[in-house]
Amino acid sequence: MKGTNLGEFEELLLLIVLILEDQAYVLKIQEEISNQVQRDTSMGALHASLTRLEEKGFLTSEMTGATAERGGRRKRIYQLSSDGKIVLNQVRTQRESLWQQAPKFSLDAYGTI
Amino acid sequence: MPMEPYNQNGLPRFAELLISRLCKAELQEEILGNLEEAYHAHGRKIRLWRECLLYLRPSCLKSINSSIHHPMFIFNPLLTIRNLRKQGMNTIINIAGFTIGLLCVFFLYFYVSSELKYDTFHKDYHEIYRVLRTAEMNGSPFKIGVTSGPYARALETDFEGKIYTCRASLETSLVKYKDKQFFEEHILFADPDFFTFFSFPLASGDPKDVLSQANNVVFSKALAKKYFGDEDPIGQIIETEGEQFIVTGIMDEIPAKSHLEFNMVLSFAFLDKYEWMSNWWNNGLTTYAKFSSPQDRAYVESQLQWFMEKYMGDDFDQTKSRMGLTLEPLSETYFASDVRYDLARHGDLKSVYILAMVAVAILFIACFNYVNMSVALSFKRAKEVGVRKIMGGRKGRLILQFLGESLMVILTAIVLAGLLSQLFLPIFNGLFGLEVTYDWSDPNILLFMCALVGLVVLSSGVYPAVLLSSFKPLRVMKGEMVKGTKGVLIRKGLVVAQFVIAIFLMAVTFLVTIQISYMKNKELGFNQESIVTIDLNNGDIREQTDTFKERLLSHPAIESVAAVSGEPGGFHDGATIQFKGIDEQLKIRTLFTDYDFLETLNIQLLAGRNFDRSFGADMNGSVLLNRKALEELGMSAEEALGKTVNMPLWDEYDRKIVGIVEDYHFQSLKNPIEPLCIILGGRARKIVVAMQAGNLNQGIEHMNNTWEELIDGFPMHYTFLDESLSRLYENEQKQHRVFTSFSIISLFLATLGIFGLVTYSAQRRQKEFGIRKVLGASVSEILSLISKEFTFLIIVAFMVSIPLAWLFVTNWLQAFSYRIVLQDYWYVFAASGIVSLVVALLTIGFRSLSVALSNPSESIRCE
């Protein structure tokens, strides 16, 4: 089923990578997730998901930017591929269309939180 | 430790190692970098390790198949199986050998662990002791298992607060419940605190007061079922010894075994009312003691001699011999087989050790087979090793691969042995006369198996693995050192070791057989054929002993009847006799009997006369002595006859020596003949009946009928004398069976090893034999060529094992006062060597004949 549907966590990852631009490597992604949505993840788990997204063709990666803190090692910077952008857009359109069809009172009744 | 330049702020070394060893090469830089940067930022070790370990997931790990160098070099189960399969026959021999060895070891493990667990289920078993008396008989000290009633109370009063006691006495009796009645052989009389003193579990009833009343009784579950069926046993009333008892408790299954064997407990209060219970010399029960601290125990132990003097000092002065008191830990009770007059069930520690040693020896033979075979085959694999090394296989990897093969073999064998052991359990139990059960839920067995696997893999896998992996690839590829000459000495040593064990066991088996048949056939000095002993186990029959005798004699099949206090091989109490006119006293065994004893057992009279009814005075006190008693006193028969003796402790009767009998073995052949005094009268415990050899069935039928006429509803219990005599050597017969079966197994395994080696040797030298045949060698010459080297090895093994077997058997024979003279049986040693040699040669011949017969053109042709 590769390349078709986007999981919830995958969607989140793509968005974070988009936000982080050229700083999108595992450590920063982990930090961002923790700050933005208060989720605790491990680098290992992130690595697995990121690799899967790469295999699906939504991400590309590149080894660059060695720093002293890393002991002179390079980091893997992720970027959204065009497929990734397309799929993210698709998800967004779908969601928005769904939101518009939802009756207003349901939100009033249960609140947004 | 030199630091890598980029490692200054330090990822821990091990974390780095973990990642770099286990994770994919292309990911390592990134992972390490991330870890280090994160660590740099937060600086928390725990978090670092968590992250590090969470990186070890399938997406990051190296795949097993694409390891460092090449698939060939990591431990690879598939490869192992392939290799094992290629060696076909040898693998089967190896696995079979291990399986047989393990079967023996499993059986042994459960046997030994159940033996060693005896009595350990009691809560404070290391604080419980058995009170034994010590005495001396004509120079040799010994312990006595039974004590009398007053000891317990006296110990508790004299050492108040330091010692707690409990008395127990085993009896047999007839038990009635409504219309059911059975003869019970394991009835225990015990003090009220029995169930709190020991930890025998109760299924119902309060341990504190189940025995508080004199008429209380506790049943075992099985016994309750037998009497009451499905009824509630509590509150039922049973009758025994002419009194009524009420069931107040039911025992649960005992978690391990106990030296006390009983299925019914009555309150000691029942016995306490008898006057003889307060007599210090009426020994028949066991006293147990419990101490609150080791200091108390040490104190009491130091006062025991004083204690004995206090209560029995006068008696000791009278008999001029003293007794001591000693404490035996409960944990040693089961194996304390040197205690005389003991009611406890005993095991033989020596047998346990022998069994353990033999099984370990078997396992060794199996291990040696494996080592031998792997080393012998190593030349075949030399090229394989060479290729692997050239392709980059490191030595460590190769060792791992070879150890993996050993592991595979031993694991297969363990699984097979585990499956087969259940099948073989009844066979082993029957063979050795044991009642071993397998309890696989025992957590120790798992530990034991792991230890076993580790031991076997290490002992039999390491040498071949190291040897194989040490081949120099270049030389191997050039075809040098493929001769398989490496480790020849070790290989030969192992074959020798195997045959040392096999020949040793065989020689021992033969000699044990000879000793046992010697004991069975030894002239005992009395007639043991067609003799039946009947227990006088009931008050009614004891009162009617004379009537019983008369009625028995009325039948033609019954030749003679005598009442005795103990049959040959049975109980002969010790006493001291004092000769009138001589100051000397003699410790002597006693037998109370009647006029017909000598005739019934056909014991020879040396001098004087037998007891005679026509001498009215005989009834008032006449005795016969055996020859040994005279020898001890240094008297001739003439001097002794007519002298009077008395037994200072028992009575002041003067008894006249009227005759001297030839020594006969009234005890087991393990003991030397002791002085014996045969006394007319006394309390009879058994009746000895001599019957016509051809009319045994009629005789026994008549006995049964007569018994029933006299006693209503009490079953008669009889044994044949020759059977009860051979039961004296039960332990030896068990050992005999152990040796027989294990010597066969070990010879078989050793032969299996030779079989494998010959196969290899014949194949390797096929071309050589071909050329020899072409040059004119005959088939038999070639056969002798192959067998020569093995013959030599077996001769060496023979030389080593004979002294060992000699030592062992000499030691084993020490236990018997009457034993075979080893020198007379030198040929037995020779025979066991020859048997092994013949078996080995047959195997060799069978295996190499085809090679010797084959057409030389076939073996030389191919290059």
Express each pLDDT in B399-410 by its tens digit: 777 788 888 888
* Location of structure tokens 């066979």: B427
- The answer to whether A74 faces chain B, any CB pair under 8 Å, is yes
Question: What is the rounded distance in angstroms from the CA atom of residue B552 to the CA atom of residue B59?
Answer: 94
Report residue B222 as tokens: 């099985």
Contacts of A78 in chain B (CB under 8 A): none
B500, B504, B505, B509 alpha-carbon torsion, rounded to 10°: 160
pLDDT, one tens digit per residue, over B409-442 is 888 898 999 899 888 888 888 887 777 888 787 7
Exposure on the CB side of residue A24, measured as CA atoms within 13 A: 20
Of B526, B571, B528, B520, the C-alpha closest to B729 is: B520
Contacts of B9 in chain A (CB under 8 A): 71
Q: Using an 8 Å Cβ cutoff, are B319 and B585 in contact?
A: yes
Q: Within chain B, which residues score under 50 in pLDDT?
A: 1-7, 69-73, 482, 484
Å between B6 CA and nearest CA of chain A: 5
Residue of B nearest to A62 (CA): B30
Query: In this predicted model, which residue has the larger pLDDT, A85 or B460?
Result: A85
- The answer to whether A107 faces chain B, any CB pair under 8 Å, is no
Binary contact (A75, B31; C-beta < 8 A): no
Question: What is the rounded distance in angstroms from the CA atom of residue B624 to the CA atom of residue B603?
Answer: 12
Binary contact (A51, B56; C-beta < 8 A): no
Query: Which pLDDT value is given to residue B76?
Result: 66
Binary contact (A73, B60; C-beta < 8 A): no
Query: Which pLDDT value is given to residue B803?
Result: 93
Å between B73 CA and nearest CA of chain A: 29
Question: What is the rounded distance in angstroms from the CA atom of residue B588 to the CA atom of residue B568?
Answer: 16
Query: Which pLDDT value is given to residue B587?
Result: 80
Query: Which pLDDT value is given to residue B1?
Result: 39
Residue B778 has a CB neighbour count (10 Å cut-off) of 11
Å between B1 CA and nearest CA of chain A: 18
Residue among A42, A52, A73 minimizing CB distance to B51 = A42
Binary contact (B37, A47; C-beta < 8 A): no
Residue of A nearest to B52 (CA): A44
Contacts of B31 in chain A (CB under 8 A): 43, 47
Question: What is the rounded distance in angstroms from the CA atom of residue B823 to the CA atom of residue B814?
Answer: 15
The mean pLDDT of chain B is 83
| Helix pair angle (B696-710, B545-553), 10° resolution | 140
Q: What is the complex's ipTM, to 2 decimals?
A: 0.85
Å between A92 CA and nearest CA of chain B: 29
Binary contact (A43, B55; C-beta < 8 A): yes
Residue among B34, B36, B57 minimizing CB distance to A48 = B57
Residue among A47, A69, A75 minimizing CB distance to B55 = A47
Of B111, B122, B309, the C-alpha closest to B199 is: B122
Query: Which pLDDT value is given to residue B73?
Result: 46
Binary contact (B36, A45; C-beta < 8 A): no
Q: What are phi and psi of B231, to 5 degrees?
A: -65, 160
- The answer to whether A111 faces chain B, any CB pair under 8 Å, is no
Query: Which pLDDT value is given to residue B533?
Result: 92
Report residue B179 as tokens: 């219309």
Q: DSSP secondary-structure letter at B4?
A: P
Mutation site for A-interface testing, chosen from B29, B32, B51, B52 by largest number of A Cβ within 10 Å: B29
Handedness of CA B820, B823, B827, B832 (dihedral sign): positive
Binary contact (B29, A27; C-beta < 8 A): no
Residue of A nearest to B47 (CA): A42
Binary contact (A69, B37; C-beta < 8 A): yes
Average pLDDT over residues A40-44: 89
Binary contact (B38, A27; C-beta < 8 A): yes
Residue among B5, B7, B54 minimizing CB distance to A44 = B54
Of B481, B568, B574, the C-alpha closest to B533 is: B568
Element (H, E) at B430: helix B395-432
Contacts of B53 (CB under 8 A, 6+ apart): none
pLDDT, one tens digit per residue, over B697-708 is 888 999 888 888
Q: Which residues 8-67 of chain A have a CB within 8 Å of chain B? A: 25-27, 42-45, 47-48, 51-52, 63, 66-67
H helices, E strands: number in chain A? 5, 2
Q: How many contacts (CB atoms, under 8 Å) link A and B?
A: 74
Separation in Å, CA B507 to CA B157, B308, B753, B827, B830: 57, 49, 20, 10, 9
Find the DSSP H helices in B471-531. Answer: 473-477, 488-521
Report residue A26 as tokens: 């595992």
Q: If interface means Cβ-Cβ distance under 8 Å, which residues of chain B face chain A?
A: 5-9, 11, 27, 29-38, 40-41, 50-51, 54-57, 59-60
Binary contact (B34, A43; C-beta < 8 A): yes
Contacts of B8 in chain A (CB under 8 A): 71
Query: Which pLDDT value is given to residue B208?
Result: 87
Binary contact (B51, A43; C-beta < 8 A): yes
Residue of A nearest to B58 (CA): A48
Separation in Å, CA B425 to CA B89, B431, B432, B496, B737: 28, 10, 11, 31, 15
- The answer to whether A78 faces chain B, any CB pair under 8 Å, is no
Contacts of B38 in chain A (CB under 8 A): 27, 43
Separation in Å, CA B128 to CA A44, B249, B290: 60, 24, 4
Of B633, B617, B616, the C-alpha closest to B577 is: B633
Any bridge partners for residue B174, and if so which?
Answer: B183
Please check the confidence at residue A106 and state whether its pLDDT lies above 80: no
Binary contact (A70, B37; C-beta < 8 A): yes
What's CA B759's distance to the chain center, in Å?
39
Å between A41 CA and nearest CA of chain B: 10
Binary contact (B11, A27; C-beta < 8 A): no
Q: Looking at chain A, how many residues does it have? A: 113
Report residue B13 as tokens: 């070394």
Of B358, B502, B497, B508, the C-alpha closest to B828 is: B508
Q: DSSP secondary-structure letter at B318?
A: H
